[in-house]
Chain A
């Protein structure tokens, strides 16, 4: 059994790390390279960079960020935002990234998942989901920073992306993101039950106990943490220590 990974998530807008509540009211948190360096020192198991506006403006500024990070951060790096082709993905992997995360482009052209998985391996493809709750106990996929509805049912989509060759699934609950009100555990549990690939939970954690809860109750392989770290509420070392006390084995560096 692999150890539980704690992933430092950095949402990027232009030169800054930003964070909002439900993808809204974005505030500048700091510089990507500096913040990623701090989380690496704290014992992060992975860094996740998401360019929040890349898909809106059809550009990609993450190559420079990851190249710089690769000089001093020696853990796996996942990069998402604005990746539309195998070439985009390849360029990032040649710049020090280990995986790419795709959302909008995968919804618009699902074959992209298979194309990247074939060229670079499934382990390099993370499909990122922005999810909002609907009535009747269902959830819907959103794109373009949680702004655009797609009408796609989450549990249908996750099975499809697994079949297309995704290596991992990142589930972000737009409803909970940045709120500190806890994870959308039922959604995440249903995603975990629907697929056999690893699932990363994101959005809503306030305390390490919330993280322990989603690991225990939803069975995720990893948790991506943002606000809790950015606002200095807990360090990654503290999160791991508390998980350890609750008999959850996190990665030991």
Chain B
């Protein structure tokens, strides 16, 4: 049975994330004990709230080194929402805060425009980044997903990876785009909530479990 560890470092709706992995027959443990990381096949870093607070709590609970060790072993790691943002170099949310720096890039506030709202709450499409084709998703967690499917977002900030290759998908916000999912080797992040994005969201979780 696949062992999935959900890092519980922060208040939030972790229940639904756990249920989505259990749906695929995984043995899910939720907790903040670094020792448990060793037994995990997959680690999920969820999270809601502010970036600075998130990184502070990870530090306080001594969770950063075990997470980085897990990633170094090449095992699949998935950050969701704030958990995705924490993978990047830094964030501009309430001052500049350093992130885990696994993927080079900055987390910035969405730029409000006529017809858009912050926080950005609701369903929006995930699309293939400019200059790529569908094959770009072929060996990733987005394998088999048609571009333009809507996913469920709840956020005010979004990551902007430095290099094009770390933009796995992009999502429109007004006349701009933000990075809605990222990939670097075995590390993935989704700004949307796959556990709340219906069948397509489940497919992404299923794909992650095939890595």
Which residues of A are found within 8 Å of B123, using beta-carbon distances? 2-3, 5, 45, 251
A244 to chain B, nearest CB (A): 13
Which B residue's beta carbon lies closest to that of A76? Answer: B196
Of B13, B150, B195, which contacts A252 at CB under 8 A?
Answer: B150
Taken together as a complex, chains A and B put the C-alpha atoms of A75 and B200 apart, in Å, by 11
Would A5 and B15 count as touching, CB distance under 8 A? no
Would A74 and B202 count as touching, CB distance under 8 A? yes
A106 to chain B, nearest CB (A): 20
Q: Residues of A within 8 Å of B, CB-based: how many?
A: 30
Which residues of B are found within 8 Å of A1, using beta-carbon distances? 115-116
Would B198 and A74 count as touching, CB distance under 8 A? yes
* A70-B19, A95-B15 known; A3-B124 Cβ under 8 A: yes
Would B20 and A252 count as touching, CB distance under 8 A? no
Which residues of B are found within 8 Å of A95, using beta-carbon distances? 15
Taken together as a complex, chains A and B put the C-alpha atoms of A3 and B151 apart, in Å, by 10
Q: Is A40 an interface residue (CB 8 A)?
A: yes
Taken together as a complex, chains A and B put the C-alpha atoms of A70 and B17 apart, in Å, by 9
Which B17-45 residues have C-beta < 8 A from chain A? 19-20, 22-23
Q: Is B16 an interface residue (CB 8 A)?
A: yes
Which residues of B are found within 8 Å of A251, using beta-carbon distances? 123, 150
Which B51-109 residues have C-beta < 8 A from chain A? none
A239 to chain B, nearest CB (A): 15
Would B199 and A76 count as touching, CB distance under 8 A? no
Taken together as a complex, chains A and B put the C-alpha atoms of A5 and B198 apart, in Å, by 13
B91 to chain A, nearest CB (A): 18
Among A3, A45, A253, max chain B CB count under 10 A is at: A253
Ordered by A's residue number, 11 sampled pairs between the chains whose C-beta atoms are within 8 Å are A43-B198, A71-B22, A74-B16, A75-B197, A76-B152, A93-B13, A96-B16, A96-B19, A97-B13, A167-B121, A253-B150
Query: Which B residues have a C-beta under 8 Å from some C-beta of A?
Result: 13, 15-16, 19-20, 22-23, 48, 115-117, 119, 121-125, 148-150, 152, 154, 195-202
Query: Which A residues have a C-beta under 8 Å from some C-beta of B?
Result: 1-3, 5, 40, 43, 45, 67, 70-72, 74-76, 93-98, 121-123, 167, 196, 198, 221, 251-253
